[in-house]
Amino acid sequence: MAVKVMIVDDSFMMRMLIADVVKADPDLSVVGDADNGKTAMDRVAGFAPDVVLLDIEMPVMDGLETLKRLKLASRAKVIIVSSVAQVGSPQAMEARRLGAFDVIAKPSGAMSLDLKEKRGSEIVRAVRKAAGLPA
């Protein structure tokens, strides 16, 4: 059975790019997405993801607040995929403190059209590892 992945990012284009990365692995399946943290919290029970790929900078409810709430509402592992989550940044450190399984920086800012080429394999490895699959 495929690992169920939910994608949460305010950019439609980024959700599609991340979905393409995830769908390239036959062991992974995108079960749903959301454009902000509030919508993600409304949908997480219905999607029952194993892994959530979560942006930090979003309207309505940001990723760090969503991460806090997801840890209470779901057993899904959360991987941050965000332009503000550069190694050593306060946001990356806070995400780790709040229980993020991994933190991956978008390579070219909020609209990283080069995500697949520069971070695709890193995202897939992180999802597989979070789900207990060989990376």
Q: Can you give the CATH number for the domain in which 94 is found?
A: 3.40.50.2300
- Per-residue pLDDT reduced to its tens digit, 102-130: 999 887 766 666 777 888 889 999 999 99
Q: What are 77-99's pLDDT values in tens digits? A: 999 999 887 777 888 999 999 99
- The whole-model pTM stands at 0.93
| Backbone angle region of 37, left / alpha / beta, with phi > 0 → left and psi within -120 to 50 → alpha | alpha
Report the distance separating Cα 64 and Cα 49, nearest Å: 18
Domain hosting 120: range is: 3-131
Domain total of the chain: 1
